[in-house]
Structure 1
Amino acid sequence: MRQLERRLGVALFDRTDRRLALTQAGETLAKEAAAVLSALELAVRRTRQAAVAVTNSWSRPNLESPRNCYTESTNASEPNRTPPTCTSS
């Protein structure tokens, strides 16, 4: 904490032998830091929600039975059969 006080150039605490209390500057920093942390938490939450929304909006292939999309074409009894296409969901 003293390093932070030196960096800021202000005393954040009133220190006595038996007591430690925030100065006005310390109270201001505590309030501002709490606001910054709240804003950061909100930004992280919104960022994650945006990523989920984008992920959910992508069209994904229907891969419930992916073997049907690729292995049927190699069936020796039907050498000219074209493979089925996987459809988008």
Structure 2
Amino acid sequence: MKIDLDEVKQGDAVWHDRYGWGTVKRVNHGTCDVKFNESERVLTFTEGGKQNGHKVLYWQPPMVFTPRKGRDYQRFLRIVAELHGQLFEGA
């Protein structure tokens, strides 16, 4: 099972968009079970970090900004992509 192209392993920390940080307790073919906070329950997620067909699991909290009406963000997005490549992909 993978989340965002990376293999999920037992013990991995993952971020849920509602529950925050959790720990992977078990990985099966195409699913993983995650425990959050002090809960005794584990929740099951499918390939890609989905639950009920919606992407909810990430390796870290997603980075988001709120776009403003009528503004062009194409230059900003190109700069972010370039920086990401330089910092994390060795470009």
The TM tier, using the shorter chain, reads under 0.3
Higher helix share: 1
| TM score, norm. by length of structure 1 | 0.23
| TM score, norm. by length of structure 2 | 0.23
Higher strand share: 2
Based on CA coordinates, which of the two structures has the bigger radius of gyration? 1
